[in-house]
A and B are shown apart, each in its own frame.
Chain A
Amino acid sequence: MVELNSKIPDGPIEDKWHSHLEHARLVGPRNRPTYDVIVVGTGLAGASAASSLAAQGYNVHVFIYHDTPRRAHSIAAQGGINACKNYREDGDSTYRLFYDTQKGGDFRSREANVYRLAQTSTQIIDQCVAQGVPFAREYGGMLANRSFGGVLVERTFYCRGQTGQQLLLGAYQALQKEIELGKVKMYTRSEMLDLVMVDGRARGIVYRDMVDGSIKSIAGEAVVLATGGYGAVYFNSTNAINSNGTAIWRAHKRGAAFANPSFVQIHPTCIPVSGDHQSKLTLMSESLRNDGRVWVPRTPKDTRNPADIPEEERYYYLEERYPTFGNLVPRDVASRAAKVVCDDGLGVGSTGYSVYMDFRDAIESKGRDTIAEKYGNLFDMYSEITGESPYDQPFRIYPAVHYCMGGLWVDYNLQTTIPGLYAIGEANFSDHGANRLGASSLMQCLADGYFILPQTIGDGLQPLYRDKVDTTHPAFARTEAEVRDRIQRVMSIKGDSTPLSIHKRLGKVIWNNCGMSRNAEDLASALDQVDQLKKEFWENVNIPGTDGDVNQTLERALRLVDFLEIGELMCRDALMRDESCGCHFREDHVADDGEVQRNDEDFSHVAAWEWTGEDSVSERHEEQLSYEVMQPATRSYK
C-alpha cells in the first residue's frame, strides 16, 4: 500500500526550506559524476532541472518525444511569470504571494510547498535575467510588471505575449551548453513508454525510438518526470497536440500515487470552438483581462453589431458581480461566470456560447499604440484565426481546458511514492490546489527545476553510492518485453475505428461530465461511456503501417490507451469528492450566491489514488492538509 509521507520539515513556515536544506544529505562534487539521472521532458521544468543537475556535475540523460528540446509545450505560454519582487511597492511580499496562491487554490494545497514557492520566486527572475531573458522594461530601464487574475498587486513579469518562449529559450540554451560540455546526453524523438522498477525503486525507463521504432531502455539512479499535463485527455484543449499523460500514467501503474486527477483548469479566455474539424483550442492570454472588459448584451439573442449596443444594454457581468476584482477574478470563477451567462441565453456568436472581451475603452484611454505594444501579437493571432480584428470589434471568447492541477503525488522533496522517481512542473500536483492562478505555472516549473529539485535530489541519491544496477538486470528485459507486447496487441487489432475518432469521443465525454460543472449522476454515466470506448479501442482500433518505422497513428494510439484510463480515474475522483472547491464545481454543493461550497470538515485533504491492477478499482488514499498559517475561509472575490 502506498504511504503518503509528505516529509514537511518542522519549524515556522518561513524557516522550513532553509532548515530542510541544512539537514539534507549531500552528494559531493567529486562523486556527482558517478550518478546517472534520467530526466524526461524539456519544458521549463525539465530543461531547467537537467541543465542545473548537469552543471552540478551529475550525468544527465534527457528524453523527449520532440525533435529538439526547444519545442516543449512551455514555449506556448504567453502571459507571464509571477514573483514577489514588490518592485511596485504595492504591498507585495512572500506572504502575500503565498496567501494569494493558497486562497486561489481554494485551500486544497500544502502550505509548506506553497510558501517555499513564494520564497523562491524572486530568485527565478534574477536567474532568467542573468541568462539573457529579455523581460519587458520601462523607459527608465527597470523591469515592467502587469497583473493577473485573483490578486491585487502587479507582480507578473513578461516578454510581450511570449513569456514562455523566452523563458524556455533561456533554459534550452543552458541545456545546450551542457550538451556541448558532454554532461547531458540528449535523446530526441524518444518517447518514454514505461518505468523500470528494481526492488521497489525506479531504476530506469523503457522508450521507443520514434524514427526506427526500436524499443530500448536505460538505467539510472533517479528518474525525473517533467512531462507536463494530461489536459489533452479532453481532445480539445489549449495544450499542444502531442501533449499526453503516458509517462505519468505508466509511472502510476508502477506504483506512483496520482493526486487529485479531476482538478483541471478551464481557462476563461480562449477562442471558441468553431467545428468538429478543430484540432486544438487557442488561448488568449489572461493578461488581456488587465485592459479588456468582459460583457454580454443584456437582451438574449441580441444580434446587433457589438459596437452598436449602448452602454446601458451591456452586462459587464464580472465587474457587476465581483466589484473588487472585476475582470481579474480567478480563472475558475471567470469561466463559470461565462458558462452561467451563456446557459442563461445571453451568449453571443452563432452558437450562443461565447462572450465579448472588449478593448474599446482601453484603446480610447491609453491609445492604440500602447495597447498594440502590450498585446500586439495576441491581437494578431486572434485575427489570423478568426478573420476579425480586435482593434475594431471585441474578441469573442469562451472557456477551454488549459492546465492540470492534478498530477503525480510528491513529497516535499518532489519525490513520488516510488523511491528514486521525482515529478516536477505540471506533471506533479503540488502547489496549485483546486485552481491555479495565472502566471504561476511558469514560476512553479522553474522553481522546481532550477532551485528545488537540484537541492533535494542528493538526499535520495547519496545512499546509492555503491548500489547501482544496469540494463543487464532482468527487470529491464522484462519491462521492454511488456512494452513490445502492448505495441503488438495494438497493432494486431486491425478493426475499423481510428484512434483520432475514439479520442474525440473520449474528449466529449470528459468535457460534458467532468468539465466546468459536475454531478454524481453524470459522472457515473461517464464511467460507463469511457468503459465502452475502451472496449471499442481494444476490439476495433486500426493502425496502418508497421511499428518499425515512423508511425504517427501508433504514437497517437499508445497515448490514447493511457488517456482512456486517465479519463476514468478523473471521473472517479470527481465522483468521490463530494464537495465543490476551486475548479471542481459540484452542482449539488452550491452556496446561496451561486459560488462553490467547500466542505472543509470532510475534504481538507489531497486524494491520492493507488493503482491496484487491471481488473480492480483504484484505491483512494488521503493526505490530510494542515493549516498552520492561514485558516481556510470562504473564498470571496466580491
Chain B
Amino acid sequence: MIKQEPDNGQPTPDTVSLTIRAWRQARGEDHGHFEVYEVGNVPVDASFLEMLDILNEDLVSRGRDPIAFESDCREGICGTCGIVVDGLPHGPGHCTTCQLQIRDFEDGATITIEPFATGAFPVIKDLMVDRSALDRIIQAGGYVTVHSGPKPDPNSIPIEHDVVEDALDASACIGCGACVAACPNGSSSLFTSAKIGHLGLLPQGQPEREDRVRKMVEAMDEEGFGSCRNYAECQASCPKEISIKYIGRMNADYIKATISGGDRRGDMHAT
C-alpha cells in the first residue's frame, strides 16, 4: 500500500467511519454505562488511539466531556495504555492498545471499548483504572538489594548469552496489566512470575531468590488477585508475548522456598 502524506497538497488519505460504544463512568464510586458515538473521516493511517483523539477533540470542541483514557509513549513500551477492545485486553492483535492501527478495522465497524477493570484494578474514570497493586507486588521483593557505589566489574561474572536472553524475555514485561484483565480469575501470576523469572535467572538475583518468591507470591494474595488455574489467557493477551513457562518456574521456586525455612533478614538489623 502506498502511504499518502498530506500537508503537501497531496490527496487526503483514505478514511473510515466507525461507531464507538464507550464505557463512561464519571468516578470510581459511580455506576458506569455505555454511550455510543459516531466518528467519521478517520484516516486509515491513524492509530486506534489517534481515532479516539479525533473523537475526543470533537467532544471537547462541542464543550462535552471527552472520554478519559490513558496513554503516554504510544509505541508499546511504557504500559500506560490499556483498553478492552471488543472484549479483548488491548484488542485484536498481539500488541498494546496504542499499537493498534485503524487499517486493521473494517469501515463502518462498531467497536466496544471498556476499561481493564478487575477486582484489583478499580476504575478511576471511564477507561482509566488504578493498577498500583502491581507496584506493591514489586515492592514486596522484585529487586536486587544494592547501593549506589563501587561494584565488581561485570565481566568478572560471565553470564551465558542464552540465559541473558531468557531473562530479558521475562523482563520485557511492561506492567500494563493485560494479563490480569484477560484472566477469568483475575490472577497476576504472569506479571509476578516474569519479575521472579528475570531476577532468578541471573547470578545477581540468587542471594535473595527464595525470599523474593515467597514475599511476592504472598503480596499477590494480599492485593486480592485471584489464583492461577492455568487458563493461559494471560499469555495469549500479553503484548510482549511473555511465556507462562515463568509461572511454572515461579511455582517450583515457591515450593523450594517454603520448604527451606523462614525469613532471616530481620536478624541483621541492629536495634
Contacts and interface: CB of A to CB of B under 8 A. Distances in A.
Given A55-B147, A137-B161, A176-B135, A275 B6 contact: yes
Nearest to B49: A279
B124 to A, nearest CB: 6
Interface stretch (A219-227, A464-472, A520-528, A546-554): A546-554
Interface string B212-243: 00000000000000000000000000000000
Contact of A279 (B10, B53, B175): B53
B4 interface: yes
From A138, A172, A351, residue with most partner B Cβ within 10 Å:
A351
A132 B134 contact: no
Q: How large is the interface on A (under 10, 10 to 19, 20 to 34, 35 or more residues)?
A: 35 or more
Contact of A132 (B78, B139, B205): B205
Interface in B158-196: 158-161, 164-165, 167-168, 171-172, 174-175
Contacts of B140: 180
A67 B146 CA distance: 25
Given A55-B147, A176-B143, A542-B60, A76 B46 contact: no
B76 interface: yes
Contacts of B42: 277
A282 B74 CA distance: 8
B8 to A, nearest CB: 5
Nearest to B72: A240
Given A126-B153, A166-B171, A71 B143 contact: no
Contacts of A454: 148
B97 interface: no
Contact of A141 (B148, B159, B171): B159
Given A176-B143, A279-B74, A141 B80 contact: no
B73 interface: yes
Contacts of A134: 164-165, 167-168, 171, 198, 202
A76 B98 CA distance: 14
B249 interface: no
Contacts of A542: 60-61, 63
A135 B158 CA distance: 12
B77 A450 contact: no
Contacts of B167: 132, 134
Interface stretch (B107-115, B125-133, B256-264): B125-133
A517 interface: no
Contacts of B271: none
Interface stretch (A327-335, A384-392, A430-438, A584-592): A384-392
Interface in A228-260: 240-242
Interface string A165-177: 1100100111011
Q: How large is the interface on B (under 10, 10 to 19, 20 to 34, 35 or more residues)?
A: 35 or more
Given A166-B171, A279-B49, A76 B77 contact: yes
Contacts of A130: 144, 146, 151-152, 204
A127 B199 CA distance: 15
Nearest to B46: A277
A27 B66 CA distance: 50
B38 interface: no
Contacts of A272: 5
Given A240-B78, A500-B57, A68 B132 contact: yes
Contact of B155 (A70, A87, A274): A87
From A71, A143, A542, residue with most partner B Cβ within 10 Å:
A71
Contacts of B68: 550, 552
A276 interface: yes
B56 to A, nearest CB: 8
B154 A350 contact: no
A278 B101 CA distance: 12
A560 to B, nearest CB: 13
A68 B134 contact: yes
B106 interface: no
B176 to A, nearest CB: 10
A445 B157 CA distance: 26
Given A166-B171, A450-B148, A545-B65, A275 B13 contact: yes
B206 to A, nearest CB: 10
Given A277-B46, A279-B74, A385 B101 contact: yes
A282 B98 CA distance: 12
A91 interface: no
B31 interface: no
Contacts of A70: 78-79, 135, 175
Contact of B60 (A67, A76, A274, A544): A544
Q: Interface SS of chain B: helix, strand, loop or mixed?
A: loop
B154 A381 contact: no
Given A353-B5, A454-B148, A381 B72 contact: no
Contacts of A450: 148
B99 interface: yes
A136 B131 CA distance: 30
B150 interface: yes
Contacts of A619: none
A123 interface: yes
A544 B65 contact: yes
A241 B72 contact: yes
A162 B77 contact: yes
A162 to B, nearest CB: 7
Given A127-B148, A134-B198, A173 B45 contact: no
B60 A160 contact: no
Interface string A70-102: 110101100000000001000000000000000
B95 interface: yes
A394 to B, nearest CB: 14
B5 A350 contact: yes
Given A68-B135, A143-B155, A173 B7 contact: no
A159 B204 CA distance: 17
Given A71-B80, A76-B75, A350 B161 contact: no
A393 interface: no
Contact of A68 (B4, B103, B142, B175): B175
B254 to A, nearest CB: 19
Interface in A346-379: 349-353
A626 interface: no
Contact of A552 (B2, B8, B66, B72): B66
B74 to A, nearest CB: 5
B50 to A, nearest CB: 5
A259 to B, nearest CB: 27
Contacts of A160: 168
A55 B57 contact: no
Interface string B37-73: 0000011011101100110010111011110101111
A451 B148 CA distance: 7
B3 A496 contact: no
A616 interface: no
A67 B74 contact: no
B138 A173 contact: yes
Interface of B: 1-8, 10, 13, 26-27, 42-43, 45-47, 49-50, 53-54, 57, 59-61, 63-66, 68, 70-80, 95, 99, 101, 103, 124-125, 128, 130-132, 134-135, 138-140, 142-155, 157-161, 164-165, 167-168, 171-172, 174-175, 198-199, 202, 204-205
Given A135-B164, A160-B168, 17 more contacts: A66-B80, A71-B78, A71-B79, A130-B204, A132-B143, A136-B164, A174-B143, A177-B139, A179-B135, A180-B139, A240-B73, A274-B13, A277-B53, A277-B54, A384-B99, A451-B148, A544-B64
Name the 3 nearest CB pairs between A and B, nearest first.
A141-B158, A173-B143, A126-B151
21 contacts: A52-B147, A70-B78, A71-B72, A129-B204, A132-B199, A132-B205, A134-B164, A134-B202, A143-B154, A162-B172, A166-B168, A177-B145, A272-B5, A274-B43, A279-B47, A280-B74, A282-B74, A350-B10, A351-B8, A384-B95, A544-B64
